[in-house]
Amino acid sequence: MIARISKIVVSALLVGGLLGCSSSSSEPADTTNPLNPTENEAESTTETGDVTSGLSWTVDGVAFTGDVERSQQIALTEYLSTSNSTTGFNFGSNVDVGSVINIAANESGAGDYTLVGSLQELIEALRNSPGSPVAHIAVVVDSIDGGNATWNSATGTVSATIVGDDVYHYSTSEPLTFTLDALPGSDTSGTPLQVQVTLNDVFGTVVSNQ
């Protein structure tokens, strides 16, 4: 069974809403471990829509498959924003376990990108050292009880390849440790402070920002 699991969409359309709800929810706090199964929950599976083989990520071993139709890659002023979500991701839907993964990085071409812990760190790094391959990743898991939790990259690297018309594809060679993005005063009991995250060919559909 998939556990009850308590989004940064760094795009011009979604960034504000998700950054404001990292680990908070209008639902009562879930004090169980969101990445471990409990006896009283029915098994929930993540749906898939227009998916591409390999487009996936894991959070502490829980696998999520991305949906191309629910993805985007958009060039913002200071970095490239890539986001992808499962078909089942619907904030507070109480229906399905879903996830969204968001990657902010500069366009330094194919190769390894050094990970930082926040968007602010990314922007500062790019201003101090333009052209250096730097990225920030956030992954959100939405639970069947309406809760959600966000974990941010901390250290390590993510590898980028470029396919077709400058579409960036991101993967990891080993699990990376992500840390919980907890709002001040929020109840994080039962939510892992750190999780292991892997990426496998995560990318987004190119969208014009004009």
Q: What is the pTM of this model?
A: 0.74
Determine how β-strand 134-142 pairs with β-strand 111-115. Answer: parallel
Return the half-sphere exposure (C-beta side, CA atoms, 13 A cut-off) of residue 27. 17
Q: Is residue 181 part of a domain?
A: yes
Q: Is residue 186 part of a domain?
A: yes
- Of 71, 75, 74, 68, the closest CA to residue 83 belongs to 71
pLDDT value at position 18? 37
pLDDT value at position 146? 64
pLDDT value at position 76? 94
Q: Is residue 210 part of a domain?
A: no
Q: Is residue 170 part of a domain?
A: yes
Q: Is residue 3 part of a domain?
A: no
pLDDT value at position 148? 81
pLDDT value at position 57? 95
CA distance 111 to 91: 33
Look at the chain and report how many structural domains it folds into. Answer: 1
CA distance 42 to 169: 34
* Weakly modelled stretches of the chain, pLDDT under 70: 1-53, 88-96, 144-146, 184-185, 209-210
Q: Is residue 2 part of a domain?
A: no
pLDDT value at position 53? 54
Contact residues for 6 (Cβ-Cβ < 8 A; gap 6+) = 23, 25, 29, 30, 34, 141, 143, 147, 148, 149, 190, 191
- 42-to-14, 95, 148, 207 alpha-carbon distances in Å: 31, 11, 18, 38
pLDDT value at position 117? 97
Domain of 189?
15-200
CA distance 58 to 41: 21
pLDDT value at position 6? 37
pLDDT value at position 189? 76
Q: Which residue has the tokens 């706090």?
A: 29
